[in-house]
Amino acid sequence: MRRAVSDHRNQVLELVRGAWQRRLAGAGAVQTVSLAGAVQRVLASDIAAPVSLPPFANSQMDGYAVISGATGSAGATGSTVEFDVAPPVPAGRAAGQLPPGCAVPVMTGAMLPAGADAVVPVEQAVPDSFAPFEPGRRVALPANVPAGQFVRAAGSDIEAGALALPAGTVLKAAQLGLLAALGIAEVPVLPRLRVLLLSTGDEVVAPGGTLGPGQIYDANTTLLSAALAEAGCEVVSGRILADAPEPFARALAADLDRFVPDLVLSTGGISKGAFEVVKQALAGDGTVRAAVDFVSVAMQPGGPQGIGSVLGTAFLGFPGNPVSCLVSFEMFLRPVLSTVLAVPAPRTVLNVPLRLPAGGTLDSPAGIHQVRRGWYNGAAVLPMGGPGSHLVHALARSNALIQLPEDLIRREAGQNVEIWLL
Ligand SMILES: Nc1nc2c(c(=O)[nH]1)N[C@H]1C(S)=C(S)[C@@H](COP(=O)(O)OP(=O)(O)OC[C@H]3O[C@@H](n4cnc5c(N)ncnc54)[C@H](O)[C@@H]3O)O[C@H]1N2
Ligand code: MOO
């Protein structure tokens, strides 16, 4: 009996939620990291602004700071008013007092002189460019400049003491930029889920190695490491283990001791072959203390799945084909991580027309949720490659997963399909 995709996702949710709660309850749950190390991390506590932004009133334009009243009263006629030009305010220095009857050259961001309450852009002045300061220079500015014109008031973005970012915020470029602007160098963040990756198979060789007959390069460690990192997890170790149950069990136990992961994720060795190392090692026959269910999910690719625990640590087993790994990650682990960790954001789901050669169809087996890969060009989605779970090149040329749920067995050109943008 096959398990529905949603049922399996719920089981993965329970598994990961439990692992995450144990991590949060553990020692050192909150970490303090530098801003550079905080990308995609989740803020562990509220952050109040230690300073106001802007910290002082400053100019929004290159121009002249004036007292608005000195340019004339509202409703008065006359097109310009003349001022003595005072020495400019140098960037990064205190501005001092606005001398009576003067306009002070200020560049964008420079502190406004005390008493000034408006800025006239240099383009509106006569002359309309700055000359080196000389006593006796005069400038004509438009009359009736409103108070506050082109002034960025102190605290107009955020006042000191106000809540800058609440706990639970995912720190991305904008949030980290705010923290830096506030002068904060380090932040408290939640831990990341620690994942131990294990690829299996006698045929699997690390990229850069030499292939013997019948061997292939390990795509899964790299593919899943990247996917997990993007999803806010920490891959504590990733290695290839051979198709031998006892050495597999010993290596797994050693890695659990050494890396103390929250989740073990293996690839390969879980279907119906003669050498299914993960299945054999974790079958519960005493090789290693494990309670893992090896199930068949009504999904293709990614049908065979393992789920449970090994020596008390949460365990997921993905099938060996690289596309099966990516689809399993996107269908089960990524949505669960979005729910449990708040990272990453869920995939964007769209309903879009299918692009196919005239008269073509996209067929999916009855009772199986098929996940095809495709290229969405902003208007329609074109399937890339066939359904085969070894088609890693077609996957790399795709930007969307095409969802063909259990009860959908055919879609024709122009009909709508659901896609998840990768
Ligand atoms: N008689 C049956 N055979 C198979 C069934 C079945 O139901 N009955 N299911 C098929 C499906 S669907 C899948 S998916 C695979 C899953 O097999 P395993 O999880 O046991 O994975 P392996 O046999 O170890 O590998 C499958 C495939 O993937 C290649 N592989 C493995 N690891 C990597 C890696 N790290 N990088 C790149 N490629 C990898 C491996 O060489 C195989 O070609 O079983 C089907 N068979
Ligand atoms: O379910 Mo398997 O993942 O198609 O190739």
CA of 153 relative to ligand 1 center, distance in Å: 63
Atom index in ligand 1 nearest the CA of residue 219 equals 36
Q: Is the CB of 306 under 6 A from ligand 1?
A: no
Give residue 379's pLDDT band: very low, low, confident or very high (50, 70, 90). Answer: very high
Residue nearest to atom 2 of ligand 2 (CA): 301
The residues, ordered by sequence, that sit 6+ positions from 96 with a Cβ below 8 Å of its Cβ are: 89, 113, 114
Distance CA 422, CA 416 (A): 18
What percentage of the chain carries pLDDT values higher than 90? 89
Lowest mean pLDDT among 148-152, 356-360, 378-382: 356-360
361 or 28: which leads in pLDDT? 361
The first and second tokens of residue 151, run together, are 């002034």
Is any ligand 2 atom within 6 A of the Cβ of residue 71? no
Over residues 7-17, the pLDDT tens digits come to 999 999 999 99
Taking residues 246-267, what's their average pLDDT?
96
Q: Is residue 21 over pLDDT 60?
A: yes
69 Cα: distance to centroid of ligand 2 (angstroms):
76
- Contact (CB, 8 A) for 282 and 262: no
CB distance 126 to ligand 1 below 6 Å? no
Query: Is the shortest distance between the CB of 302 and ligand 2 below 6 Å?
Result: yes
CATH level 3 topology of 349-421: Beta-clip (2.40.340)
Ligand 2 site, residue 370, Cβ cutoff 6 A? no
Of 290 and 267, the structure prediction assigns the larger pLDDT to: 267
Q: Distance of alpha carbon 200 from its chain centroid, rounded?
A: 29
Confidence (pLDDT) at 250? 94
Ligand 1 center from residue 25 Cα (angstroms): 37
Q: What is the pLDDT of residue 289?
A: 87
Residue 247: band (very low, low, confident or very high) from pLDDT cuts 50, 70, 90? very high
Residue 196: phi and psi, rounded to 5, are -100, 120
Q: State in Å, rounded, how far the first CA of the chain is from the last one.
A: 31
Ligand 2 atom 4: residue of nearest CA? 301
Q: For ligand 1, atom 30, which residue shows the shortest CA distance?
A: 320
Residue 170, phi then psi, degrees to nearest 5: -85, 125
Q: What is the DSSP track for 181-220?
A: HTT--EEEEPPPPEEEEEEE-TTEE-TTS---TT-EE--H
Cα 172 to ligand 1 centroid, rounded to whole Å: 37
Element (H, E) at 5: helix 5-25
pLDDT at 76: 56
Tell me how far apart the alpha carbons of residues 278 and 62 are, in angstroms, rounded to a whole number.
Answer: 67
Whether pLDDT at 28 is above 80 = no
Residue 75 has what pLDDT? 56
Does the pLDDT of residue 106 top 60, yes or no? Answer: yes
Question: Is any ligand 2 atom within 6 A of the Cβ of residue 321?
Answer: yes
* Cβ–Cβ under 8 Å, residues 110 and 52: no
Tell how far the Cα of 299 is from the centroid of ligand 2, in angstroms.
8
Using pLDDT thresholds of 50, 70 and 90, give the confidence band for residue 286.
Answer: low
CA-CA distance, 161 to 257, in Å (whole number)? 44
**Cα(273)–Cα(52) distance, integer angstroms:** 65
Place of tokens 């061997």: 215
Q: What is residue 413's predicted lDDT score, i.e. its pLDDT?
A: 94
Asked if the model's pLDDT at residue 277 lies above 90, the reply is: yes
Distance 304 CA to ligand 2 centre (A): 7
ipTM: 0.98
pLDDT band at 105 (very low <50, low <70, confident <90, very high): very high
Is the model's pLDDT at 217 over the cut of 70?
yes
pLDDT (tens digit per residue) in 123-138: 999 999 999 999 999 9
Strand spans (E) along 201-280: 204-205, 216-217, 234-241, 263-267
pLDDT confidence bin for 92, thresholds 50/70/90: confident
The verdict on domain 58-152 having CATH code 3.40.250.10 is no
Nearest CA to ligand 1 atom 43: 321
Beta strands in 277-399 (DSSP E): 290-296, 299-300, 304-310, 313-318, 349-353, 361-363, 369-376, 381-383
Q: Strands (DSSP E) along 1-160, which ranges?
A: 31-34, 47-48, 58-59, 63-66, 80-85, 102-106, 118-121, 138-142, 151-152
The structural domains of the chain, with segments of one domain joined by +, span 5-29+192-341, 58-152, 349-421
> 78 pLDDT band (50/70/90 cuts)?
low
Provide the pLDDT confidence category of residue 77 given band limits of 50, 70 and 90.
low
Is it the case that residue 262 has pLDDT exceeding 60? yes
**CA dihedral defined by 331, 338, 418, 267, rounded to 10 degrees?**
-20
Distance CA 270, CA 110 (A): 65
Ligand 2: which of 296, 325, 332, 389 to mutate, most ligand atoms within 8 Å of CB? 389
Instruction: State the Cα–Cα distance between residues 7 and 187, nearest whole angstrom.
Output: 38
Q: How far apart are CA 342 and CA 169, in angstroms?
A: 8
Q: Whose CA is nearest to atom 46 of ligand 1?
A: 271
Q: Which fold has domain 5-29+192-341?
A: Molybdenum Cofactor Biosythetic Enzyme; Chain A (3.40.980)
- Is the confidence at residue 327, as pLDDT, over 60? yes
C-alpha to C-alpha distance for 40 and 231, rounded to whole angstroms: 8
Q: What pLDDT, on the 0 to 100 scale, is given for residue 313?
A: 97
Q: Give the ligand with the smallest distance to the CA of 319.
A: 1
How much is the average pLDDT of 324-328?
A: 98
Segment 67-93 mean pLDDT = 84
321 lines ligand 1 (CB under 6 A): yes
Average pLDDT, the chain: 94
